[in-house]
Structures are given as structure tokens and as C-alpha cells.
Amino acid sequence: MDFKSEITKRFFAKQDIGGAESINDLRDKEFSGVKLTAEEKFALANFDKYRLNVLNSQENEEQFHNHYRQLQVIANLGDWREFLKDTYSK
């Protein structure tokens, strides 16, 4: 049995547990050479802008690290379509 088959049997894929495609999934697609749609590119840009605004607004190192971890979770598990909303494009 090859390594990929073994890993697939041991771990659930995000789609197996009902997870939505995330910001980091979009980044992986883009780095793999897959052309992203205009909406996907827009969501990535909005997330990056949001991430910078959140991190730059922190007043101390502890807050910065707490928000950084939260943003990592959002990028890994949150639905990328959330970042199409007007809230993130301002």
C-alpha cells in the first residue's frame, strides 16, 4: 500500500466531514497552478486586507498572537465565501 492510500484511510478529508472550502484551500489551488475565479481572487484579497487590519490594530503582543491564531483557524476552516461580503471589502 502506498503512503497516500494509507494516509487517506487514517484521516478524514475536509469534504468527508462536511467542511467547506477555505481560504487556505484556495491558496493551495492557486499554488498548484489552478486558475482561480474572480470571486475566489476577490475573497483572498479581502481576507488578506482583513487579516492585516486585525493584526495591525492590536495593542500588545499577547493580543496580536491571540488574533493571529484565530485568523489561522478562520483561514483553515472557514468558508472562503464569507470574505465576499461587503463587510470585508471596505
| Residue-by-residue DSSP string for 20-88 | PP-HHHHHHHHHTTPPPPHHHHHHHHHHHHHHHHHHHT-SSHHHHHHHHHHHHHHHHHS-GGGGGSGGG
Instruction: Flag whether 3 is in a domain.
Output: no
pLDDT of residue 90: 75
How many domains is the chain built from? Answer: 1
Convert the pLDDT of each residue in 37-90 to its tens digit. Answer: 999 999 999 999 999 999 999 999 999 999 999 999 999 999 999 999 999 987
Residues spanned by the domain of 66: 20-88
* pTM assigned to the model: 0.79
Instruction: Flag whether 24 is in a domain.
Output: yes
Instruction: Flag whether 11 is in a domain.
Output: no
